[in-house]
Structures are given as C-alpha cells and as structure tokens.
Structure 1
Amino acid sequence: MDRPLSVTALRCRTSDRTPGASRGAEALALALDPDARLVGTFGEARIANWDDDLRDSHGCLLEAGGQVEDMLVAGAFPVLTTSDCSICMTTFQAITRHEPDARVLWLDAHGDYNTPDTTPSGFLGGMCLAASCGVWDAGFEPSIDPGRVLMSGVRDLDAGERVLVDTTGVKNVRPSEVAQRLAGQKVYVHLDLDVLDPDILPSQFAVPGGLSDTGLRTLLAEVKRECEVIGLEVTAFEYPEPANVELVESIVRAVL
C-alpha cells in the first residue's frame, strides 16, 4: 500500500436495530489505529421501517460518504467502520467519483438487494445495495453499475431479492473464485462481518454456513495480492469481547 492508512468510525445511527454495532465500529477503529477519527454520537437503536430510517438518518448517511470523500481527497487509503450496510448508498458514490472503473467486492451473508416492493422486513440495511445500483430510488444518486458488483459469502436472499440479483447483472460467486474474477482491477471492499459463520462471530442477523476466520483472512489476502484494493468499509461488528476485537482486527489487516 503506497498511501497512508486513514481510519474513521462512524458512530451515528443509520438503521441500527441493536445498540452494539456502533460501539463495535468504534472498538474496531481504535484497534486498527489508536488515533482513528470518531465521528458522530451514538444514537438510540430501534426497529423502524425503511422510510423512517431513510428520513431520520439522512445526515448520518451523507456523513459516511463525506468521510470517505475526505480521506480520498487527502490521498489516504480509506477505512470506514460503521454499524450497518446502509452507508454504501453514499460511500460508493465517493469511490466511483474518484475511481469510475472500480469494482465493489460485497462480502456479506445477505445481498441487501431488496426494494420497497420486495422487502419482507422493511429494513433499510437490507435494501441499500439495490439503491446504490439504481434498482430503486432512495433519494441518493445511483453510484455503481450492478455488473461491477461481485458478491461472495451471500447465502440468504429473499425470493424477490433473488430475482433482482439474477436479472440485474450482479454476480454471486464462491470465495475461491473472487481473486481470479477481480485480478488486476481496482477494488473497494465492503465487509459485513456476518459473512463469517455465527459459530465464529455472533451477529445480529446470523446465517449458518458462513466463512471461517481463516477462510475470510485467506480470501482478503488473495484479493490484496491480485488486485489494487482502494479502500475498505467494515460493518456489523456487535459490541465485542476483547478476543473478538483481536479476531476481527487480524482479519481486516489481511487486506491492509
């Protein structure tokens, strides 16, 4: 990596349904860099419908993209830790403004590719990638073509969501295929830690059959070796035990 590392924790509420993920974002950021930037104040977690969260968290979502933008303008390698995946609606905008040809590697147990018409849960965090890809209008400009998104570890798709993934150009591949598919390209990594098996790391929306920590660490190291990684965002780290901080830090450092 030829750019200085810049680590920011976004602590304000986006669509948080538990209080732990924002605090986990702070803990991880400080583990990666004791001088990490801490942005925003902890919000009150609650279960709300997507439209309420979209309205109430508008400022926090804009802040997410603004933080990535600022890190890129400063010539740094951006690392953003935050509570959930909703932030991709603005962070991907910042990335593609600077690197129009960038690919997104989406590591997550979930596709987050629902729309207001397909979502069974009403959870904004389960709809954000589809908004980023222009599948529905969340009030932010679409930021990336679906064909430039590569999913891996995704193993929980709702019925309507699966149709959208299959028909809009997003690819969902095995972890062993990722580095080869992205070799030689600029890649921004979105890492939702529920891509790990819940036996390895507990998560809010646990889905069995996930990656082992060794498997995820290996995948990220291969991506670093074969691609030009241009930034990283990490979500869904519930307020952790100290051993879990060390585990997740070791995984993240594989791509840094």
Structure 2
Amino acid sequence: MAVLYDEVADAVAADVTAGRVPLVLSGDCTTSLGVVAGLQRAGLDPALVWFDGHGDVQTPETSASGYLGGMPVRQLVGGADRTVAERIGLRVVPEPDVLLVDARDLDPPEEAYLATSAIRRVPVANLGTGLPPHRPVYLHLDVDVVDARDLPGLLFPVPDGPRLPAVAAAVRQVLASCEVVAIGLACTWRSGSGADRAVAELVRELTAGT
C-alpha cells in the first residue's frame, strides 16, 4: 500500500504544482492517505471535507472486521496504524481541520471516539455551517454517503441517508464555497449493478467545479 500511495502522492503533488485540481477515483477510502500526502508535498496543509456513510475512524484494536477502509480518517489525524502514513511522509491533520459529513452508520467504538474528538460532524443538509472557506480543502466523497435506494449494488450500503440530488447539491456547495485543491471519489459497488451510471452524475458535478 505504501508503494502504491507514494505514487498517488507524487501524481497529486505534480498536478497541484502545475495548477490542476486532481480527481482521484479508487475503490477504497484509504487512497486518501496518498492524496493528502501529495497535497502536503506540494506545500499545502488542507482541511478535509469528508462525505461518507460511515465514520472511518476505527483502529485495528476497535474494528470487528479489520477492514482497512474503515480506518483512514483516524489514520489521517494521527491514530490507528501509522505504517503507511509514515512511509509516505504523511503529516498529521489536526482533528479540528476535519469535517465529517453524514457518517450515519457508526460502531460503538466510533461513537465513543467522536464524542470526545475535535473532529466536527454535520449532516448533509446542514453542511454550510461547518465549511472552511479560507483554507485549501481536500474534498473526499465515498459514494455510500448516498442512500442505498439511489445506488444499487453498493458493497457497504447504508439505508436512510440523503438522496442523490441532495448529495450532488452539497458537493456543488463545497465547490462554490471552498478552495478545493483535490477531490477523492471512493466507489465500492458490485460490477454490473448499475451504480456506475448514477455515480457518473456525481463525477460530472465534481469535474464541473475543477
């Protein structure tokens, strides 16, 4: 992972240095480690606006599944396993610089951590109250933030969430209000499910703002 994410970091840093806003598509939220490391290599210290149906603040000790995709926010703020982060030179992102959007499906250890953490958490509908307008921002979008009714075939669906138009509107709000310097899109769905067609609309929203 460190080898792969070192390459991601180099590519992101090159894009940012050239004045471009990289859009990184991957099947796992852990790729964000490489994206943020790349922004730091380009001389930026970004705030994070993190859309996700989950909290992604597990550690190897708290996770019942051991799934690494449930840990990247915790890794970015200096917790969980730091092996990859240290090997790619990723500096710790301060907890107050992280805005967790939605995260409606939390395990008890995640609830306990966020209750005392300085990470801020808002629902999609109240996004405007927490945006950092005067900071470079890494916009991360895990498509499972969208209600599972609108994205069939998600590997980790979360019911009772915001519908696709609401998420698209929130993405537009971030792009209009913040200095977005990189975008990560995590797409975890079953091949042939049709989710790709729905996500294509989100990709159009993202690229229209870059």
Question: What is the TM-score with the length of structure 1 in the denominator?
Answer: 0.71
Give 1:194's match in structure 2, choosing from 130, 139, 144: 144
Give 2:103's match in structure 1, choosing from 148, 154, 158: 154
Residues 143 and 185 in structure 2, CA contact (< 8 A), matched pair in contact too? yes
The equivalent of 1:47 in structure 2 is: none
Give 2:66's match in structure 1, choosing from 110, 122, 131: 122
Query: 2-side partners of 1:164 and 1:176: how far apart?
Result: 23
The equivalent of 1:235 in structure 2 is: 186
Give me the CA root mean square deviation: 2.0
Give 2:133's match in structure 1, choosing from 172, 184, 198: 184
Query: 1-side partners of 2:170 and 2:199: how far apart?
Result: 19
Residues 93 and 143 in structure 1, CA contact (< 8 A), matched pair in contact too? no
The equivalent of 2:40 in structure 1 is: 96
Query: 2-side partners of 1:175 and 1:99: how far apart?
Result: 26
Name the SS of the counterpart of 1:77 in structure 2.
coil
Name the SS of the counterpart of 1:166 in structure 2.
helix
Query: 1-side partners of 2:199 and 2:75: how far apart?
Result: 31
Q: Which one is further off, 167-176 or 58-67?
A: 58-67
Question: What is the TM-score with the length of structure 2 in the denominator?
Answer: 0.85
Which ranges of structure 2 fall in alignment gaps of 5 or more residues?
Answer: none
- Relative to structure 1, the CA distance from residue 222 to residue 58 in structure 2 (aligned partners, 3 Å threshold; closer, same or farther) is same
| Pairing 1:252–2:198 present | no
- In the alignment of these two chains, the number of paired residues is 199
Residues 217 and 251 in structure 1, CA contact (< 8 A), matched pair in contact too? yes
Taking the TM superposition and a 5 Å limit, the aligned residue runs for 1:50-199 are: 57-97=1-41, 98-100=43-45, 102-139=46-83, 140-141=85-86, 142-185=91-134, 186-199=136-149
Which ranges of structure 1 fall in alignment gaps of 5 or more residues?
Answer: 1-56
Give 2:155's match in structure 1, choosing from 204, 207, 211: 204
Look up the equivalent residue of 1:63 and give its one-letter code.
E
Name the SS of the counterpart of 2:53 in structure 1.
coil
The structural deviation recorded for 1:169 is 1.0
Query: 2-side partners of 1:251 and 1:226: how far apart?
Result: 14
Please give the per-residue CA displacement for 1:105-146, whole angstroms capped at 9, x wherever unaligned: 000101110011101110011111111110123211443111
The equivalent of 1:18 in structure 2 is: none
Name the SS of the counterpart of 2:60 in structure 1.
coil
Residues 143 and 199 in structure 2, CA contact (< 8 A), matched pair in contact too? no
Look up the equivalent residue of 2:69 and give its one-letter code.
G
Look up the equivalent residue of 2:174 and give its one-letter code.
V
* Runs of 4+ more than 4 Å apart: none
| Pairing 1:218–2:169 present | yes
Name the SS of the counterpart of 1:107 in structure 2.
strand
Look up the equivalent residue of 1:71 and give its one-letter code.
D
Residues 96 and 144 in structure 1, CA contact (< 8 A), matched pair in contact too? no
Look up the equivalent residue of 2:44 and give its one-letter code.
E
